[in-house]
Amino acid sequence: MTVVLDNLAQKISSQLAIIYEDVDIDLDYQAFANQLIDIMQISVSVQSPEPYQNHWSEQDIIMITYADSVISDNQLPLVNLRSFMNQYVGASINSVHILPFFPYSSDDGFSVIDYSSVNEAHGSWHDIKAIANERRLMADVVINHCSSRSKWFENFTKGEGTGHDYFFTCNADDDVSAVVRPRTSPLLRATATANGEQHVWCTFSHDQVDFDFRNPEVLAQFIKIFRQYLDAGVSIFRLDAVAFIWKKLGSPSINLPQTHEIIRLIRSLVEHAKPDAVLITETNIPNTQNLTYFGNANEAHCIYNFSLPPLLINTLITGNCLYLKRWLMSMPPAQNGTTYFNFIASHDGVGLRPVEGLLSEDEVDTLISTMQSFGGVISWRSTPDGDQKAYEMNIALIDALKGTVDGIDELGFERFICAHAIMLALEGIPGIYIHSLLGTSNDYDKLNHTHHNRSINRRRWYADLLAEHLDDEESSHARILSSMLTLIDLRKAQPAFHPNATQFTLHLGLSLFGFWRQSLDRRQSIFCISNITDQLQSVPIGELNLVLTETWYDLISGLVISDLTQLLDLSPYQTVWLTNKKPE
């Protein structure tokens, strides 16, 4: 064994000691550390990964999609998805996040029956690998829970076999009032087993039964899953609902120290197996808590910027960027080796917990009522006091931005593109939901069929109908896709849009939202300014502190600015990217 491998084993052993310190088990930490290293197939010739390395650049854009977002009668969905990306997205987007593509029983994939298989209705591992050979592939590790129809849970009820001791249980009369949850259903599920009735912990639903990571075998099982996904071509791992994985009676059972240590352990193993692999934590929680998942550049490489969607939508429907600007100014620059994962729409709703402490209750109430007036629905959660509180707004982004607090107007397209122009320019890696690329509106048929609020933004497109729309240049879907890809291609050509490039917030009043980016080599600056109102706005160019000796170019419109004494007029929802580097 090399010194490097010995050091890794010692590091893993120390992490295990922290995780299981308060667990009453007899565990040889050194032997278990070596077992995990063997599972991950880390060779004796391994090199220690260089710390603080950025495994990304301005070239990286991630499309978020379900495996079956594009369907047809004669081809499997994963084949359709690959064809769609190659024909309509091309080289503009180099990465894809395929949401859980495994056999499942509920929650559109997030109640996994078998982690080792691809859902036959979607395709096969061959199809997954074919996509991974063409684009960087991001996949979910649904690490907090699995399906109650899984073989593991079946063995739990039998009291024997793999999985019989994988699930967290407690007594029916235990005090769980402090537990933080995103749902209103009862936390405990009474389950008949060979060992009598047991009460299984269910953070999300009674079909999603929570694992008990106090059992080291659960951790070992998930390390096997990471290894299998690496072998299938996955290089970006989304740790779903990871904040909840460690439970402790009498505590909130969220963000516990053991959770952070488990993430650090997974990071240690994965980065030694594949140095450029990336971990992204999905923690839909208040902003200050979310930031802790960076650790000291030793936990998540990326964290979801969950506060961005509600704050940006609020900005564009109110025409006031106060709260968005305050938040941006408060966000610490991500140190090298970490960055933000930016998104403004996803398969889930627009979370409201991430704006706790950022928006006032009145602002949130106005935001909620406006989304409802645009056809959105609201999902609720139970607080520890037993109250019902809005948890997320379920609405397609194109519908969320079709008007302002004053009602629907004719500027929905401009507002929608403005939102993405802002998101694409921010520090971090952009993630764009397929239905934002396509301008898909609320799917009421699916909502009425499933009675699940999130279904409103999870449409399945028939491939031939989608092609008909996208091949028609006059259709709204083709217009949106063309505009989005143009912005994406512009972004990718700018070193100042590197995810870790310098960013400063500009102070341009409340009707103009702006920030400044500078490339890592300091050769390119970009002033990103957006009119976030439905009225013409002007800004004296001299107030931007542009360097007088240079000519400035708007990358989006092609405008050339040589006279810095003039006014810059911005139409409703227009964005400019002013750079000192002449476009090629």
Neighbours of 72 (CB within 10 A): 17
Active-site residue 362, yes or no? no
Tokens at 282, concatenated: 């999905």
Provide the total of helices (H) and of strands (E) in the chain, helices listed first: 17, 28
**Range list of β-strands (E), 414-501:** 429-433, 461-462
Q: Which positions ≥6 away from 170 have C-beta within 8 Å?
A: 176, 188, 199, 201, 249
Separation CA 402–CA 429 (nearest Å): 26
**DSSP assignment, residue 352?**
S
Separation CA 258–CA 392 (nearest Å): 27
Handedness of CA 153, 156, 157, 161 (dihedral sign): positive
Q: Tell me if residue 163 falls in helix, strand or coil.
A: coil
> What is the phi/psi pair of residue 238, to 5°?
-95, 115
- The catalytic position among 240, 443, 534, 554 is 240
Separation CA 243–CA 313 (nearest Å): 26
Please report, for residues 101, 231, 441, the alpha-carbon distance to residue 78 in angstroms, rounded to integers and kept in the order given. Answer: 9, 18, 23
Separation CA 491–CA 451 (nearest Å): 39
Q: By the 8 A CB rule, do 92 and 131 touch?
A: no
SS (H, E, C) 169-203: EECCCCCCCCCCCCCCCCCEEEEEECCEEEEEECC
Do the strands 234-240 and 278-281 form a parallel or antiparallel pair, or are they unpaired? Answer: parallel
**DSSP assignment, residue 48?**
P
Instruction: Return the residue matching tokens 């594009």.
Output: 70
Instruction: Return the residue matching tokens 């929905």.
Output: 412
Q: Which positions ≥6 away from 159 have C-beta within 8 Å?
A: 193, 194, 195
The residues annotated with a catalytic role in the active site are 240
